[in-house]
Structure 1
């Protein structure tokens, strides 16, 4: 029985209104299947309007032992924001899209409050209106929501400059499984009183509480930026180019890598690629185009070719940001998508090993990602359905062997729950489980995410 019984459904409708409890499969379908199309569960979809309604919903679910999965924009790639397929316990998918308010920007304190359902694009717009910027950016900015980004501790293309989402969280409001509301909301850069619970909730993937509002740090906006697409022989050469730029004193805002397979795929779909090269580096720096051109000239023979233009250089960024959707359309089977990171001196090793693995298996590999922090998005296309789990496991074990992380910025979700031991030892996992049990003693918060059910 994945949909709660009629008494629970009536109680939920009494809280949020009849039109905001969806139980018909065709109406709820878009909420219950993840972005990749891989994960589909069953649940009643509940759409609260504010924190008070979230709290009442959580009390009702706790009283009736109903599992709850919070969901933002449903742009996740690891099955963390949809119910567990085939699980027959009563389940509510708690959509937070209606909590989409963005507050007034505090220009002096450089912060802004945003509801969990506010899109990243709306936060960018509010910050820009005050002459500031929000330090996290993603290609899915128009649909990714702040609550989901905090819950997964999203990284994105600006992490090399400003850090991940956790680094932007000054305060948080969240509803605990009991229905109690936890609020820590002070625009302070220094507030060292006890455990940093907002940081704990960042990356918790809905397993500890429901995030409803976030107080976000803002940063000064760069007056000018310059963007270059740089052709290099391989990833190692691209890394030397970025180090040369940094050594010249230029401040790097973003450094993205695209291998030849991905660039060719995107170019075939109609996005212009300026040159042919083994690897393409997209780098954005603060300052003007002349500064960046000088820095590239100093990189010497590692730069095979380059084009430089003033930011925001949307066409150059389109080459990078078109990868995910183009890859999804190009595969004959669901793409095996793995978000991983390795030490910077092992990135070339990872790319080479994945290419060899794909060639041996007769499938295609497309790799791209955030060069500055060692985060590579590994995509395996055309993998037969029966071989997908094995292929994913082989890559994750390869990453662990290189001293890397099996999840860099997308979370663990359900897709990687069985592989947590590759990234955390037994003592570490036991400590995380103890935290989970303390805050969610009845185990109703997003069961199956992060931890595979015993």
Structure 2
């Protein structure tokens, strides 16, 4: 017997019918009847925030912004767009950094395009404390989901600096990992069920709290990381976790990247659980300090490692002992978790970087094998220094999973492609990936061949063609 579902009526298949495509005016009239007059935006000023991404690098154009409230409304909106041949850009919190959350610029296509925003889809269900899970609409923020879990003594396993605006649908669509990935895994590993609207308006629902349910293809996992190109995610059933009873946060100034890697290995060998592990550089810490955050340690160092540790016994003493036994530690500070002030120094990087660059920041989210982190950091730190044009590299990231956020400030716009290729060349030479958790979006389409061979890309295109044969969902994202 399947779990009861409050929106079972949405599971019916919607047939867009054989009606010939209508003009955009007819389509907008139909969409207003579905979601209400005030939720179809066509005024340029009202639409502006939906057409520009967080970085300011990507701007697009749309005929309207449509804001449905329920899965049923999404289903009817998508069915109407399928009938009318209107393309759809799916948007959550618009915190993406690769241009995937905004529509393309005018490209000469005769097809109309709308932004389908999940901004009104913020419902979060009751927490199942026995099954440790909770259902949330696609527009619910990461922070709101964690708050709901916290009222029941549980926690959401995904955490991001953008927790107040990043949404459930967004983190699943990009398969984000965030700061807790080393302990909890990425978004895909925390999905029990999913509800999504396919390109013809029909509703796909896998919604069960069973941890073992092997019937055919794992469609929720397929949609995770698909960046809105296969379906519009409307609800997600997430697993929840029990937070550690006691944890300690330490920030240590260290001489080398190797010291930070060794610290994590030593922590695990000592029986401690690494809840989070972040790496920062002196350039980044100094920049954040210039914008009002305190320096984490009295003595500076070339690098800083932030580690949150849990376990049994006296965690603070065990962490102090661990730091004392690790080579290359210059200075360190410890605070009981959640240690918001220490975390603020790490989470303040993104805003400080954005405010400090004279041009839109070139933000490249990459990963390399952990063994290659020292060499990769060294090479990436020289981008813009050794090249024929100057720019300022600021690196930070999730050291426990090899994820480096490469931020290049003051890059002349005409050299953005060139500097991107330089970074990706370093990543490829070190056996890494050009996309760790932000997705491909529009920004990295030209370089997907660096991470996927021809057969792999052809297989993905076959899946896209099967689920969205007319290419109406997120045109230009992932495949170009």
Give, in whole Å, the separation in 2 of the partners of 1:357 and 1:376.
14
The answer to whether the Cα contact below 8 Å between 2:256 and 2:328 also exists between their aligned partners in 1 is no
Give, in whole Å, the separation in 2 of the partners of 1:450 and 1:97.
23
The answer to whether the Cα contact below 8 Å between 1:232 and 1:279 also exists between their aligned partners in 2 is yes
Query: Which runs of structure 2 are paired with 1:21-420 in the superposition (5 Å)?
Result: 21-43=40-62, 44-87=64-107, 88=109, 89-273=111-295, 274=297, 275-287=299-311, 288-299=315-326, 301-361=327-387, 362-420=390-448
Give, in whole Å, the separation in 1 of the partners of 2:318 and 2:136.
36
Query: Deviation at 1:121?
Result: 0.7
Give, in whole Å, the separation in 2 of the partners of 1:397 and 1:25.
40
Q: How many positions carry a matched residue from both structures?
A: 449
Query: Deviation at 1:86?
Result: 2.3
Q: Which of 6, 13, 16 is the aligned partner of 2:35? A: 16
Give, in whole Å, the separation in 2 of the partners of 1:5 and 1:220.
49
Aligned-residue RMSD, C-alpha: 1.1
Give, in whole Å, the separation in 2 of the partners of 1:425 and 1:267.
43
Pairing 1:434–2:465 present: no
The C-alpha deviation readout for 1:44-103, integer Å capped at 9, x for no partner, is 100001000000000110011111011110000001011111234310100011110010
Give, in whole Å, the separation in 2 of the partners of 1:411 and 1:83.
15
Give, in whole Å, the separation in 2 of the partners of 1:414 and 1:346.
27
Give, in whole Å, the separation in 2 of the partners of 1:4 and 1:75.
31
Give, in whole Å, the separation in 2 of the partners of 1:302 and 1:167.
35
Query: Deviation at 1:297?
Result: 2.1
Query: Deviation at 1:4?
Result: 6.5
Unaligned runs of 5+ in 1: none
The answer to whether the Cα contact below 8 Å between 1:240 and 1:302 also exists between their aligned partners in 2 is no
- More displaced 10-residue stretch of structure 1: 210-219 or 289-298: 289-298
Query: Deviation at 1:357?
Result: 2.2
- Alignment TM-score, normalising by the size of structure 2: 0.92
Unaligned runs of 5+ in 2: 1-21
Give, in whole Å, the separation in 2 of the partners of 1:127 and 1:4.
45
- Secondary structure of the 1:99 match is coil
- Secondary structure of the 1:276 match is coil
Distance 1:29 1:355, change over 3 A: same
- Secondary structure of the 1:338 match is strand
- Alignment TM-score, normalising by the size of structure 1: 0.97
- Secondary structure of the 1:198 match is helix
